[in-house]
Amino acid sequence: MVFRSFNSRVVVILLGLLSFFQPITSIRLGLVRLPSSNLPFFREAPAFRNGEECGSTEADRINVAMTLDVNYLRGTMAAVLSMLQHSTCPENLAFYFLSAHGAPELFTSIKSTFPYLNMTIYHFNSDRVRGKISKSIRKALDQPLNYARIYLADTIPENVQRVIYLDSDLVVVDDIAKLWGVDMEGKVVAAPEYCHTDFTLYFTKQFWSDPVLAKTFDGRKPCYFNTGVMVMDVDKWRKEKYTEKVEEWMAVQKKSKRIYHLGSLPPFLLVLAGNIKAVDHRWNQHGLGGDNIEGKCRSLHPGPISLLHWSGKGKPWLRLDSRKPCIVDHLWAPYDLYRSSRHFFEE
């Protein structure tokens, strides 16, 4: 019969064509992913099931948003595995992935690694931000996908009202439901704040010497927060037009004067610093990737830990592969599902 003559490659191609017309939703295809020269290979993760105490209604769902980038895919896989492994109700997690490039291969890679994952991939149109990006101190911070979090609320469905946004260079070592359950207290963003940091360093002398710009934070007590871990009220974000507010500061940076150096972070701070819901520091043990220039090793901060975040230049998978890992990189390694192409063909 003609249908039975279709091989896996044809099905993957058809799936790819379908993805250009609608978001790719989670469907169980029962296919083995074909080797690709552009993507790493990953082992299939075990199936994670809900405990008896877990609900199964819409109200029980926990929404998690992340970006999908080929260069960070290994990190994304580890992050997803860590969340599923430490979740009491892993089947209640719904993942919303934003991708700036071709989604078919990424979708197939994720679904072969996590066959039962509830996930959707949405296309992020890089043209929305490309003319608004100004050069920063590290090339990775200049990529359009790094700005996708600004447009998250406009990209995912309108019926999604709340979401946890996470970077791809982290692992969660606690039940993500604890972060999801934070009381937002009417704020649009909840995240750990770091008020001991010298906040003035996130902006240039041109910013602070301008009498108008320097008054931006009047009436607020601004503190640094890392935008790689945020609980976001995306419904409030839409209604109060926070995307436009952030874009206004990006326009100042691009067209008027250079007021910051760190990519998408400073415009978030300009709009929201001093006006977010503070979350326990345990939910972002950040900076494990070192600084943005050299990426040197750093130690853990004292205190309890629920999330480890390799923000900065150094990424654990790269340092492990180079056989020059930092001590903290060994905390990421147990979640690494990567397998070399040699092992793929041997199996």
What pLDDT digit, counting tens, does each position of 236-284 carry?
A: 999 999 999 999 999 999 888 899 987 889 999 999 999 999 999 999 9
* Cα 154 from Cα 161, distance rounded (Å): 11
Long-range Cβ contacts of 294-298 (<8 Å, 24+ apart):
297/326, 297/327, 297/328, 298/326, 298/328
In CATH, the number for domain 58-193+226-257+275-335 is: 3.90.550.10
Contact present, 283 and 228 (Cβ < 8 Å): no
pLDDT of residue 200: 94
pLDDT above 90 covers what percent of the chain?
Answer: 71
Residue 80 near residue 26 (C-beta atoms within 8 A): no
- The pLDDT score that the predictor gives to residue 339 is 87
| Per-residue model confidence (pLDDT) at position 48 | 97
Give the pLDDT mean for 214-227.
96
pLDDT bin (cut points 50, 70, 90) of residue 137 is low
What local confidence, expressed as pLDDT, does residue 136 receive? 63
Q: What is the pLDDT of residue 19?
A: 40
Residue 29 has pLDDT above 60, yes or no: no
Res 102: pLDDT? 67
| Structure-block tokens of residue 215 | 């008054």
Structure tokens at 33: 């992913």
Axis crossing angle, helix 265-272 with helix 242-251, rounded to the nearest 10: 120
Please report the pLDDT score of residue 141 as a whole number: 60
Q: Where are the domains of the chain?
A: 58-193+226-257+275-335
Q: Once rounded to an integer, what is the mean pLDDT over residues 94-98? A: 97
Residue found under tokens 């192409």 = 341
Q: What predicted TM-score, i.e. pTM, was given to this entire model?
A: 0.87
Q: Using an 8 Å Cβ cutoff, are 328 and 300 in contact?
A: yes
Residue with tokens 């993805």: 19
**At 294, is the pLDDT very low, low, confident or very high (cuts 50, 70, 90)?**
confident
